[in-house]
Chains A and B, each alone.
Chain A
Amino acid sequence: MLSGQEDSKNVLCARKSGKGVLAAPFRLLKTNRLGVILTFAVYKRDLPLNATPTERIQATDGYLGGVFDIESLVEKLLQQLASKQTILVNVLDTTNQSYPISMYGSNASNAGLEHVSLLNFGDPFRKHEMRCRFKQKPPWPWLGITTSIGILVIALLVGHIFHATVNRLAKVEDDCHKMMELKKQAEAADVAKSQFLATVSHEIRTPMNGVLGMLHILMDTDLDVTQLDYVRTAQASGKALVALINEVLDQAKIKSGKLELEEVQFDLRAILDDVLSLFSGKSQDKGVELAVYISDQVPQMLIGDPGRFRQIIINLMGNSIKFTEKGHILVTVHLVEEVIDSIEVETESSSENTLSGFPVADRRQSWKGFRTFSQEGSINPFSHSISLIVSVEDTGEGIPLEAQSRVFTPFMQVDPSISRTHGGTGIGLSISKCLVNLMKGEIGFVSIPKIGSTFTFTAVFTSGSSSSKKYKSQQINKMSNSVSSEFYGMRALVMDPRPVRAKVSKYQIRRLGIHVEVVSQWKQGLSSIRRGSNAINMVIIEQEVWDKYLNNSTLFFDTLEKIDYGTPPKVFLLSNSISSSGANISTGVCNMTVIPKPWRASMLAAALQRTMGVGNKGNPCNGQLPSLSLRNLLLGRKILIVDDNNVNLKVAAGALKKYGADVVSATRGIEAIELLTPPHQFDACFMDIQMPEMDGFEATRRIRDMEHNINNRIHHGELSVEAYNNVSNWHVSILAMTADVIQATHEECLRCGMDGYVSKPFEAEQLYREVSRFFQ
């Protein structure tokens, strides 16, 4: 211990410096571990820091040495610092650089990182180092690597997705723009096509109408039979072409949404009469019975679009006629309310109970799906709307089941051969459907192949009253208005075994105001006639009854002859074809008039007129008649014309003079009053209304007052009647002459005492009509 030169040198140095001194490491005795001794010099007294070495040597009292067990020192110290990782520590005495003395630690190879730290035991002459290193190589930081790679990948992916999305968006927007462009182009093309079609069709129509017009004129010229036939054929083709063009135009209009319905007052029964007459020729040729029945509850006048309504019915009936070879076609019009009520009653209608006896498809099936019926109380009670339901029932071929779903698609026909055999393009039903929808209705059908089809549609109109001035009224069929008054109250007997057909006949006859009694057996009819309590004026016999029973029977006509209460009833035969036995069959004394079917009220009225001698006489149909009649009326009459306009005066005077009247002219109301002061010789006065000083109304009022006054005075005896040409009730007929015929003017005319009005300039028929009222 402490042997060795170095050690003693160290100790002596320690004495000099006052600092601790470390000896070289050596093996300790007990443990055989390496250790060092730290030697301090102990001084007698406290030395100041700047004491010289000599002073220190002098002051030395002794030495203190401490033994450091390096191993345990290091272990104990470093134990605390080692933590998880195994750290290898080497403590080396590196006083001699080239020969470090290992004091602690194994001499393992220096692999990996080494941390070198200097140790200071307090001995300035010695250097100690501590080298630390991990025993094991640090493992790869897998987690970190993986995480960062993962994050990188994710970031790349996200970036890619983002990029792709943005690209895609841009592309889609681009595509969208392109599509919009294309769509606009397509729409424009469609519109252009429709316009083109419409224009071309319109252009075609004009020369077509020219052709048809010329053909019409040609028909009026001298033609022999062959030529007439050719012209008729050409006309038929031309008309078909025009109809086709109209259909195509309609289709284009509907597609562009430009179809509008009119609101006009019209008479439903007149329209159906028209349609009936349109198809009568064809139906007679085919031997199919055509009939129309309109319920009484349907009002006389309706407001809607008559033209389009007609179009629908013509389309349906046209189809029926095309495909029906036998049996009947029945058109019925009811109010929707009537039908709803009858739906509840499930009547088992026998197939024999139809118009012609042929079975028909049950019409109730055709409106089965209608929404109008499924909703309870959907009918608005306080609007003036009238919902009609129209059915066209036929006994034709029917529509094959597989084609039924496509019936309303445009250009669809059941069979390509149809257009060859029957003509038509197949647009009709689709147009009808659109029109029905525009009329807020629905259309449906039921069809049984080989039995027949029934098409039904509903439409909504508003009720029109004849006094409504807001709507223009269509030309009311003059016949039906004027005729009904003449036969009113007469009684008719109808012989028809089929109730449906009898109902139709009853409807038509009742339009004329005639009471109807229906019998199904002719013998019953005879007893009715014989009974005689209510005189029967006419007997109407169905062809069927005639053929079966009466043709060879004289009993019937003998009975008729023997009627003793006045004129025997006239007999009419409702015949299926015109050609059967001519227009008048005479059997014995009684002449029987034949009315061809399909017949309507006006035809019956005409027949009645002919046989009974009742009706409009002198309905002027050509220009000749009025002037002759006018001449008869006006010859020698003294007439006053009052007008402030010289030209008008002269023309009116000239017109009246032509008919032989004795005309006096006046230009002012005052003059008129003077001239018409009783007593005078005038028979009538035509008075212009608009005159400057005193208008026609005022003048007439004064004239009437004057007449009234004088009449009173004559009556009371104040004036002698002889002085007044023995006339005690002066009332000269005054007619207004007006250029504007307005309703209001008419009322005003009547109010101030005028007897009528004519328009200026004179129109022969109107003049005749007015004047004939008081000149007989």
Chain B
Amino acid sequence: MDLIQLQRQLVDYRTSLYHEGFLDEQFTQLQSLQDENNPDFVVEVVSLFFEDSERLLNELSKALEQQIIDFKRMDAQVHQLKGSSSSIGAHRVQKLCIVFRNYCEVHNVEGCLKCLQQVKHEYGIIKTKLESMFQLEQQILNAGGSIPV
């Protein structure tokens, strides 16, 4: 595919992510922090986010499988997840974390399980989408072009 088309595809893809509520303007802020001093800033942050989130989601799954559920600890972990998703602008994940925290506060196991499933699901989606976006960007760079803002 030629460069112009790739670039257009990237712009459309990004716009759709915003429109569908996957990303919010915090992600734009993140992108604005990337410059020639910091060329891979966004990718680095997002990778960090992926590592962190996977770790947290695993711990949350384990916590919910226990006999006695430590809600307090779970709450702290969901808080972490909420914080990091809000920092990169993963809008849907962040919103779900808020709901998740509510369930933790009232010690509602059913709700927590349901929320965890949803968060995992949304996380999966956003991860795939961001990875696709990065791939597109990489393709553009390989073709010698620059990433449109």
Contact = CB atoms under 8 A, between A and B. Distances in A.
A345 to B, nearest CB: 61
A658 interface: yes
Interface in B81-128: 82-84, 86-88
Interface stretch (B8-16, B26-34, B60-68, B139-147): B26-34
Contacts of B79: 690
A692 B76 CA distance: 8
Interface stretch (A35-43, A176-184, A645-653): A645-653
Given A645-B52, A761-B26, A654 B41 contact: yes
B76 A647 contact: no
A646 B52 contact: yes
A658 B36 CA distance: 11
A292 B77 CA distance: 56
Nearest to A763: B29
B33 A654 contact: yes
A655 B38 contact: no
B49 interface: yes
Nearest to B32: A658
A651 B89 CA distance: 11
Output the residue of A645, A646, A739, A760 with the most chain B CB within 10 A. A645
A496 interface: no
Nearest to A650: B45
Interface in A748-766: 760-762
Given A655-B29, A657-B38, A650 B83 contact: no
B131 interface: no
Contacts of A650: 44-45, 48
B83 A655 contact: no
Output the residue of A650, A652, A658, A762 with the most chain B CB within 10 A. A650
A221 B71 CA distance: 55
Contact of A648 (B32, B35, B37, B84): B84
A692 B82 CA distance: 15
A289 interface: no
Given A654-B38, A654-B45, A657-B38, A647 B29 contact: no
A644 interface: yes
Interface residues of A, number: 18
Interface in A295-311: none
Given A647-B88, A658-B33, A658-B35, A739 B48 contact: no
Contacts of B51: 646
Contacts of A739: 82-83, 86
A647 B38 contact: no
Contact of B52 (A647, A652, A657, A760): A647
Contacts of B83: 645, 647-648, 739, 760
Contacts of A690: 76, 79
B48 A647 contact: yes
Contacts of A647: 45, 48-49, 52, 83-84, 87-88
Contacts of A657: 33, 37-38
Given A646-B52, A739-B82, A761-B26, A651 B76 contact: no
A651 B30 contact: yes
A654 B49 CA distance: 15
Output the residue of B32, B35, B44, B87 with the most chain A CB within 10 A. B87
Given A647-B87, A647-B88, A655 B82 contact: no
Contacts of B87: 645, 647-648, 651-652, 760-761
Nearest to A654: B33
A95 B123 CA distance: 146
B84 A646 contact: yes
A650 B42 CA distance: 10
Contacts of B80: 644-645
A651 B82 contact: no
Contacts of A658: 32-33, 35
A99 B30 CA distance: 159
Interface string A98-138: 00000000000000000000000000000000000000000
Contacts of B30: 651, 654
Interface in A616-661: 644-648, 650-652, 654-655, 657-658
A761 B88 CA distance: 9
Nearest to A644: B80
A692 B75 CA distance: 11
B29 A761 contact: yes
A646 B48 contact: yes
Interface string A324-352: 00000000000000000000000000000
A638 B2 CA distance: 45
A645 B76 CA distance: 11
Nearest to A647: B84
Output the residue of A651, A657, A658 with the most chain B CB within 10 A. A651
Contacts of B52: 645-647
Contacts of B84: 645-648
A647 B47 CA distance: 9
A644 B87 CA distance: 13
Interface string A644-682: 111110111011011000000000000000000000000
Nearest to B37: A657
A646 B47 CA distance: 11
B38 A761 contact: no
A504 B128 CA distance: 65
A133 B87 CA distance: 137
Given A645-B84, A739-B83, A655 B49 contact: no
Contacts of A651: 30, 33, 45, 87-88
B98 to A, nearest CB: 10
B33 A655 contact: yes
Given A647-B52, A650-B48, A761 B33 contact: no
Contacts of A646: 48, 51-52, 84
Nearest to A688: B83
Interface of A: 644-648, 650-652, 654-655, 657-658, 690, 692, 739, 760-762
29 contacts: A645-B52, A645-B84, A645-B87, A647-B45, A647-B49, A647-B52, A647-B84, A647-B88, A648-B84, A650-B44, A650-B45, A650-B48, A651-B33, A651-B87, A651-B88, A652-B87, A654-B33, A655-B29, A655-B33, A657-B33, A657-B37, A658-B33, A658-B35, A692-B76, A739-B83, A760-B83, A760-B86, A760-B87, A762-B29
- 10 closest cross-chain pairs (CB), A and B: A647-B84, A654-B33, A651-B87, A648-B87, A647-B49, A645-B83, A650-B45, A647-B87, A761-B87, A658-B33
Given A739-B86, A761-B86, 8 more contacts: A644-B80, A645-B80, A645-B87, A650-B48, A652-B87, A654-B30, A654-B41, A657-B33
